[in-house]
Amino acid sequence: MNRKPINPAMHGLIDYGFGVYNTVGPRVLGLTGKAHAIPLVAAVAQGTLNALTNLPFAARRVFPFRMHGRLESLGVPALIATTVITGAWKQPRAPLFYGILFAALATVYTLPDWNAQSGTHEAPGIHLR
């Protein structure tokens, strides 16, 4: 049995933590312009996805956890590409902020069991087989 250490509820909480980090981190580090705006957009996108995923802390359970993972599998590379293409990482403290963010994202993306059931019932809406 090869169980992954992050269950769906824990993953959801960690994602909300990313939202806080993406909202507060750039301001604390004094990032400006694109280096500040990109994480804010990511925070809104992540918060919206979490609020609509079949997780204990969701506002409305629209997406199953597996779909959440598939959407993140597109969003994380898009976030990295946007950061590099726009040059947002070039500000003096931006490599620190983005380095921590990308290392944490890589870790939290690889450790959940994306096939695990979340919540007490199946999410209405989109279902993957």
Distances (CA, A) of 94 to 14, 42, 99, 107, 126: 21, 15, 8, 20, 37
pLDDT score for 1: 55
Q: For residues 50-67, b (16+ Cβ closer than 10 Å) or e, as one string?
A: bbbbbbeebeebbbbbbb
pLDDT digits (tens, 9 = 90+) for 84-112: 999 999 999 999 999 999 999 999 999 99
Average pLDDT over residues 62-77: 94
Average pLDDT over residues 39-49: 96
pLDDT above 70 as % of the chain:
89
User: Which pTM was predicted?
Assistant: 0.85
pLDDT score for 48: 97
124: which 2 tokens? 């209405």
pLDDT score for 17: 96
Q: How far apart are CA 75 and CA 105, in angstroms?
A: 11
- Min mean pLDDT across 2-6, 28-32, 42-46, 70-74 is at 2-6
pLDDT reading at 126 higher than 90: no
